[in-house]
């Protein structure tokens, strides 16, 4: 393989020297520039494969340089770097065509990882002659691992923080799993049951120092689209969008789904696994079935009433029947959440608000939108094992707390 050309544009000389030295040792041909004008001149002449670009520089900042690079040539992998990163800066850079965003101080591991991911999408994938693990993807129940075809940006506010936020979804190699990366801390938190931290109003995951909240709609979308490998760069909270998962479906489709070489074995349910010690008005269990299904019974006083839904995972059923169903809640609950400093993102356009007599702020998308949303949350929480499920989930009156309890039961049965 020909040596790759790499350009670093940064006004901090010590970063230029250290980064270029490390990357030359890794076999790259490295060019350096201390400002945007010089960087664009080298870019024109050398046409590098990869560009590392600092955001904060005098005269011409990184966003302006990125715009100019993309005008000249859309092909290079541009990786934006910053020492004062916020999710909004990262989101803007990726929206304009950067592949990814790295926080200073840089480590050689993270730099090489992002280069590897960036180049993986540019080069044809060739079967390795010495790879004898081809059979791993065969068999009646094995699904192919999947990721997305390109980096995508999602804007919005956090439901509980009310803060304007955004997130970046990035392709990842096989066997990575679904992983959140906190901006600006850089801590990575797997979207796995062992990291679940807070339940009740929303599902969240926690690492050593960082938390990412309200992950269930994104997890449901990954579950139903079969995405097994994904990096999600976000600050404290996944944006609530319109209170449903439909925009996430559209974004995933826009990025396109890429089938990977390796397989992942679904959890095939062969016996009834139930959540014990629930009150008489609730139940939650999973039983053998040919496909993934959810049967949910919601029993509430009016204006919600009694609602029943049977979801069968068939092509497009999630997108048309479940993903558009929105988060709902009572005005009095949101007032209480606001007093606790939560729920301030629940606005007229992203939550169905109910009074004792009916819906006060919107028109329902389905007569039974409330039970459909419960199914959406359940599909998301069940994906906290990062594995497809073949079985029928039967639920009545349960929420995130019970869903997480069932996932823990599944883990104890399937992971020893």
CATH 3.30.230.20: which residues of the chain?
141-264
Better pLDDT: 259 or 62: 259
Closest by Cα among 71, 52, 72, 54 to 63: 54
Better pLDDT: 82 or 209: 209
**Where does the pLDDT of residue 335 fall: very low under 50, low under 70, confident under 90, or very high at 90 and above?**
low
Query: Is the pLDDT at 140 greater than 60, yes or no?
Result: no
**Where does the pLDDT of residue 330 fall: very low under 50, low under 70, confident under 90, or very high at 90 and above?**
confident
Query: Is the pLDDT at 129 greater than 80, yes or no?
Result: no
Gyration radius of the chain's alpha carbons? 23
**Where does the pLDDT of residue 133 fall: very low under 50, low under 70, confident under 90, or very high at 90 and above?**
very low
Residue 365 in contact with residue 324, Cβ under 8 Å?
yes
According to DSSP, the residues that pair with 43 across neighbouring strands are none
Asked whether the bond before 184 is cis by omega within 30 degrees of 0, the reply is yes
Give pLDDT tens digits for 225-241: 999 999 999 988 898 89
Residue 391 in contact with residue 268, Cβ under 8 Å?
yes
- Fold type of domain 141-264: Ribosomal Protein S5; domain 2 (3.30.230)
**pLDDT value of position 279:** 93
Alpha-carbon dihedral sign for residues 65, 173, 403, 375: positive
Query: Is the pLDDT at 342 greater than 60, yes or no?
Result: no
Q: Which residues of 239-268 are buried (b: 16+ CB within 10 A; e: fewer)?
A: bbbbbbbbbbbebbeebeebebebbbeebe
CATH 3.40.50.2300: which residues of the chain?
5-120
CATH architecture of 5-120: 3-Layer(aba) Sandwich (3.40)
Give pLDDT tens digits for 88-99: 888 888 988 999
* Beta-carbon contacts of residue 321 (< 8 Å; ≥ 6 apart): 311, 372
**Where does the pLDDT of residue 375 fall: very low under 50, low under 70, confident under 90, or very high at 90 and above?**
very high
According to DSSP, the residues that pair with 171 across neighbouring strands are 230
Query: Is the pLDDT at 290 greater than 80, yes or no?
Result: yes
Give pLDDT tens digits for 240-249: 899 999 999 9
**How far is it, in rounded angstroms, from Cα 193 to Cα 101?**
27
Average pLDDT over every residue of 253-274: 95
DSSP code of residue 192: S
**Where does the pLDDT of residue 336 fall: very low under 50, low under 70, confident under 90, or very high at 90 and above?**
low
Mean pLDDT is lowest, of 35-39, 205-209, 282-286, 340-344, for 340-344
**pLDDT value of position 122:** 60
Better pLDDT: 138 or 39: 39
Better pLDDT: 256 or 334: 256
Query: Is the pLDDT at 293 greater than 80, yes or no?
Result: yes
Mean pLDDT is lowest, of 27-41, 149-163, 179-193, for 149-163
**pLDDT value of position 1:** 53
Q: Residue 234's CB: how many other CB atoms inside 10 A?
A: 26
To the query of whether residue 400 is one of the catalytic residues in this protein, the response is: yes
Average pLDDT over every residue of 359-382: 95
State the chain's mean pLDDT as an integer: 88
**pLDDT value of position 291:** 94
Better pLDDT: 120 or 367: 367
**pLDDT value of position 123:** 53
CATH architecture of 267-414: 2-Layer Sandwich (3.30)
**pLDDT value of position 326:** 95
**Where does the pLDDT of residue 125 fall: very low under 50, low under 70, confident under 90, or very high at 90 and above?**
very low
Q: What percent of the chain has pLDDT over 70?
A: 88
**pLDDT value of position 158:** 61
Residue 344, Cα to own-chain centre: how many angstroms?
Answer: 22
Options 160, 400, 413, 416, the catalytic residue: 400
Give pLDDT tens digits for 67-80: 999 999 888 999 99
């Amino acid at each position: 393989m020909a040596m790759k050309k790499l350009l670093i544009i940064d006004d901090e000389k010590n970063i230029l020297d250290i980064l270029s030295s490390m990357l030359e040792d890794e076999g790259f041909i490295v060019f350096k520039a201390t400002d945007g004008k010089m960087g664009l001149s080298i870019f024109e002449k050398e046409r590098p494969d990869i560009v590392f670009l600092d955001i904060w520089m005098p005269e011409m900042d990184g966003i302006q340089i990125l715009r100019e690079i993309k005008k000249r040539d859309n092909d290079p992998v541009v990786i934006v770097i910053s020492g004062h990163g916020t999710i909004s800066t990262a989101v803007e850079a990726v929206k304009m065509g950067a592949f990814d965003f790295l926080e200073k101080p840089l480590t050689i591991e993270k730099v090489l990882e992002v280069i590897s991911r960036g180049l993986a999408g540019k080069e044809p994938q060739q079967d390795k002659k010495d790879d004898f693990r081809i059979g791993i993807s065969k068999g009646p129940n094995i699904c192919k691992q999947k990721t997305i075809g390109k980096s995508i940006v999602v804007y919005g506010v956090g439901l509980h923080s009310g803060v304007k936020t955004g997130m970046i979804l990035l392709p990842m190699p096989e066997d990575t799993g679904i992983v959140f990366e906190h901006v600006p801390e850089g801590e990575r938190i797997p979207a796995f049951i062992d990291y679940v931290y807070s339940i009740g109003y929303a599902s969240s995951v926690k690492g050593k120092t960082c938390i990412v909240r309200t992950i269930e709609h994104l997890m449901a979308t990954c579950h139903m689209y079969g995405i097994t490998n994904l990096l999600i760069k976000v600050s404290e909270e996944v944006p609530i969008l319109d209170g449903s998962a439909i925009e996430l479906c559209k974004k995933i489709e826009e990025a396109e789904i890429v089938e990977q070489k390796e397989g992942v074995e679904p959890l095939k349910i062969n016996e009834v696994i139930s959540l014990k010690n629930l009150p008489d008005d609730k139940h939650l269990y999973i039983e053998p079935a040919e496909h993934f299904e959810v049967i949910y019974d919601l029993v509430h006083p009016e204006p919600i009433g009694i609602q029943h839904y049977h979801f069968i995972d068939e092509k497009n059923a999630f997108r048309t029947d479940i993903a558009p169903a929105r988060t709902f809640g009572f005005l009095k609950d949101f007032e209480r959440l606001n007093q606790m400093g939560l729920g301030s993102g629940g606005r007229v356009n992203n939550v169905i608000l109910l009074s004792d007599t009916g819906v006060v702020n919107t028109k329902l998308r389905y007569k039974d939108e409330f039970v459909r949303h419960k199914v959406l949350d359940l599909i998301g929480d069940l994906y906290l094992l990062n594995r497809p499920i073949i079985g029928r989930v039967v639920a009545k009156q349960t929420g995130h707390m019970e869903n997480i309890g069932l996932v823990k039961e599944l883990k104890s049965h399937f992971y020893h």
